Structure 1
Amino acid sequence: MRVLQALFFPPEQPGGVSSMVPFMLDRFNKRGWEMELFSLPKRIRNKGNEEIEFETFDWAVYAGHPVVDKYIQTLKDYTWWTKLRIQRSFDLIHAHHPIAALVMRRVFPDTPLIMTVHSSYEKELILNGKIEENGPEHQFLTSVYRELEERSDQLITVSNSFKRYLADYVQEPERIGVIPNGFDEKRFRPVHHENQVPQLISVCRLVPAKGLDTLLQACAELKRRGHKFVLHLIGDGPIRTELEELAVQLDIYEETIFYGYILHPEDFMPFFDVFVLPSRAESFGSVYAEAALCGLAVVGTQVGGITEQIEHGTNGLLVPVDDVTALAGALEKVIGDPMYRYQLSRIALEKALKSYSMTRVVQQLRNVYRSYRKEV
């Protein structure tokens, strides 16, 4: 059975999806499946010129807005690149981005198409101050979900929380499958270590949606309470300078290290003590599972897929979004009690190995793929 895994970002790009799918593909290929990866190179811009039409709504009423116009042009570019590069047929296509799914249905109308919706682009744009809630760009992006439902043979998402979110925008939400992300266990190896000063780490794109301003304020509160720590921030993004300036204003710049983008943070993440990321939204939150697989205690927020990974007080701690005092209290608890921190991390590791292994994902997807064998 020939299967095409259609990404948007190239595999070498940072992020849960782009880093997960190549490992998944490798597992399938080792079991005798024939799979290929496909994505749009970042350098492809303004090459496509075919007209775009949707079956379930008229996108032209939203034309003229930057986000919409860029989305439509990217659809055209992805179409151009797909027709240029793919010269063979496949028995099944599994898309991991709305643009990839819509293009694949357009170019290969008779091939079964599975679409996994990994995140809510519109929610991220709202939180990052790029579009207005309920504005035209928001309406356009949420209308795409209904189009995906119409065009795909199967919709899948990564958490029950995100399935409930999608329910407002599709006609048959009960048909959406849920397959949480999985991770190659061999990439993550907990390392026994003892740090005299607690080491906190966060890995993410530096954008407002990740709540790093809340984290810096909470760390400033920790310092005022007399706690020693080092905060390691791995990632880059448009608000890096703003965050560095905030760290200076809060008098925690000496305690904070800004690394920028690192390709494989899991290589040294196991040497830290606590992973913390106070996100304002997460469909799944792959990095929390990755941190657990590295043997870290995990602190997150009560949103989205994070709450399906972390049971408060059992395998991690959860705090309300934007609650500096609660976050400082949670961090104080885990850095002040090494035994409690160890217990949280041990149970988190056990759950992650059981629930988020790549083996489990491969088994679940294999069943989905085989259900379409009779149709090809």
Structure 2
Amino acid sequence: MNILQALFFPPEQPGGVSSMVPYIQERFTKKGWDMELFSLPKRIRGKGTEEVAFSTFDWKRYAGTPVVDKYIQTYKDYLWWTRMRIKKRYDLIHAHHPIAALVMKQLFPDTPLLMTIHSSFERELILNGRIAEGGPEHSFLTSIYRELEDKANQIITVSASFKQYLSDYMQDPDKIGVIPNGFDERRFRPSNHENAVPQLISVCRLVPAKGLDTLLQACSELKRKGHTFVLHLIGDGPSRTELEQMAVDLNIYEETIFYGYMLHPEEFMPFFDIFVLPSRAEAFGSVFAEAALCLLALVGTNVGGIAEQIENGRNGLLVPPGDAHALAGVLEKLMQDPSYRYNLARAARDKAKKTYSMNRVIQQLTKVYEAYRVHA
């Protein structure tokens, strides 16, 4: 069976999806499956000129806004690149981005299309202050879900909470499957270490949706109360300058290290103590499972896929989004009680190994793929 994994970002780009799919390919290749990866290089911009039309809505109603115009141009670029590069047929196409899915179905209408929706672009844009909720860009992006339902043979998402979110925009949400992300234990492994000063780490894109402003405020409160710590922030993004200035203003710049983008944060993660990411929304939150496999205590917000991974008080701690005082309180508790911290981390690792293993993902995907083998 010949399968194409259609990504948007190249595999070397940051993010759980792009970094996870090559490991899926590796596992299936070892099993004797024929699987290839395809993506749009970052340098391909403004090349496509072919007209775009959707079957379930008229996108031109929303034209003239920067987000929509960029989205449509990216669709044209992906279409241009795909026409030029793919000359063979596949038995199944598994897409991991809406543009990839819709382009592939347009060019290969007779090939079964499986679509995994990993996250909500519109929610991220709203939380990052780039579009208004209920505005034309929001309406355009949520209309894409209905188009995907119309075009894809099967839709999968990564958490029950995100399935519930998608159900508001689809006619038959019961057909949405859930396959949580999986992680290769060879990449994320604990390391024995003892830190005299608690080491906190967060790994994410530096944008408002990730709630790092709340984290810095919480850390400022911890310092005012006399606690010592180091906060390691791995990632880059448009909010970096603002966050660095915020750390200065809150008098925690000396305690905070801004690393910028790092290709393999898993090489550093096992040497820290507490993973904390107070996201305002998260479809799944792959980095929590990654941190759990590295035996870190987890602190997150009770939103989306984070709340499905963390059972509060059992394998991590949850706080409301945007609540710096509550966040400072749970961090203080973990910093002061290493035994409690270790017990939470061990429970988190046990759950991650059982629930979010790559083996489990391969088994679930195999069943899905096998259902299309009879059509190959």
TM-score, normalised relative to structure 1: 1.00
Q: How far apart are the structure 1 equivalents of 2:188 and 2:155? A: 29
Alignment of 1:180-195 (within 5 A): 180-195=180-195
Q: How does 1:1-376 map to 2 (within 5 A)?
A: 1-376=1-376
Which residue identity does 2:223 align to in structure 1?
K
1:238-272 deviation line (CA, Å, top 9, x unaligned): 11111010001100000000000110000010000
Q: Unaligned regions of 5+ residues in structure 2, if any?
A: none
How far is 1:192 from its partner? 1.1
Cα distance between partner residues in 2 of 1:171 and 1:64: 28
Q: CA deviation at 1:361?
A: 0.3
Q: Letter of the 1:337 partner, please give it.
A: D
For 1:224 and 1:46, locate their aligned partners in 2 and report how far apart those are by CA, in whole Å: 51
Aligned AA (1:361): V
> What SS does the aligned partner of 1:129 have?
coil
For 2:335 and 2:175, the matched residues in 1 are separated by: 44
Give the 3-state SS of the residue equivalent to 2:4 in structure 1: strand
CA distance in 2, matches of 1:74, 1:260: 26
CA distance in 2, matches of 1:56, 1:241: 41
Quick one: distance in 1 between partners of 2:76 and 2:203? 33
Shift in Å, 1:189: 1.2
Q: Distance in 2 between matches of 1:202 and 1:48?
A: 38
Amino acid at match of 1:320: P
SS of the residue 1:69 aligns to? helix
Tell me, which stretches of 5 or more residues in structure 1 are unaligned?
A: none
Q: Percent identity?
A: 74
Q: CA deviation at 1:375?
A: 2.0
Distance in 1, matches of 2:362 and 2:50, equals 36
Deviations for 1:71-95, whole angstroms, at most 9, x for unmatched residues?
Answer: 1111111011001001111000000
Dislocated runs of 4+, deviation >6 Å: none
Tell me the amino acid that sits aligned with residue 87 of structure 1. K
Deviations 1:120-172 (A, max 9, x none): 00000000010000000000000000000000000000000000000000000
CA distance in 1, matches of 2:222, 2:322: 16
**AA in 2 matched with 1:295:** L
1:14 is displaced (CA, Å) by 0.4
Which secondary structure state, in structure 2, belongs to the residue aligned with residue 186 of structure 1?
coil
